Amino acid sequence: MRILVTGGAGYIGSVSVEAFLAAGHDVTVLDDLSTGHREAVSEGAALEIATYTDAASVAHLLRRRRIDAVLHCAAKSLVGESMVDPAKYFRANVAGGIALLDGMRDAGVNRIVFSSTAATYGLPERTPITESDPIRPINAYGETKRSVEGAIRWYGHAYGLRSVILRYFNAAGASTRNGEQHAPETHLIPNVLAAAEQGRELTIFGGDYPTPDGTCVRAYIHVEDLAAAHLLALQATDPADSRTGATAGTAGTAGTAGALACEPLICNLGSGTGFSNREIATAAEKIVGHPIAVKIGPPRVGDPPVLVAGAQRAAEVLLWQPRHGTIEEIIESAWKWRRSHPNGYSG
DSSP for 246-274 reads --TTTTT--SSTTPPP---EEEEE--S--
Residue closer to ligand UFG, measured from CB, 161 or 172:
172
Annotated catalytic residue: which of 11, 52, 89, 141? Answer: 141
Q: Is 151 helix (H, G, I), strand (E, B) or coil?
A: helix
Stretch that binds ligand UFG, among 23-31, 111-119, 227-235, 325-333 (CB under 6 A): 111-119
Q: Decide the pairing of beta strands 217-218 and 275-276.
A: antiparallel
DSSP for 210-241 reads SSTTSS-EE-EEEHHHHHHHHHHHHHHTSTT-
Tell me the H-state helices in 207-326: 223-236, 277-288, 312-317
Q: Is 1 helix (H, G, I), strand (E, B) or coil?
A: coil
216 lies in the binding site for ligand UFG (CB under 6 A): yes
155 lies in the binding site for ligand UFG (CB under 6 A): no
306 lies in the binding site for ligand UFG (CB under 6 A): no
271 lies in the binding site for ligand UFG (CB under 6 A): no
Residue closer to ligand UFG, measured from CB, 67 or 221:
221
- By Cβ distance, which residue is nearest to ligand UFG? 216
129 lies in the binding site for ligand UFG (CB under 6 A): no
Residue closer to ligand UFG, measured from CB, 57 or 203:
203
Total chain residues near ligand UFG (CB under 6 A):
20
Q: In the chain, what's the furthest Cα-to-Cα distance? A: 65
CB of 80 to ligand UFG, least distance (A): 7
Residue closer to ligand UFG, measured from CB, 25 or 76:
76
Q: Is 40 helix (H, G, I), strand (E, B) or coil?
A: helix
Binders of ligand UFG among residues 163 to 202 (CB under 6 A) are: 169-170, 186-188, 191
**Does residue 141 carry a catalytic annotation?**
yes
Neighbour-count burial of 83, counting CB atoms closer than 10 A to its CB (0-12 exposed, 13-18 middle, 19+ buried): middle
Q: Which of 16, 35, 110, 117 touches ligand UFG by CB under 6 A?
A: 117
Distance, C-alpha 123 to centroid of its chain: 19
Residue numbers annotated as active site = 141
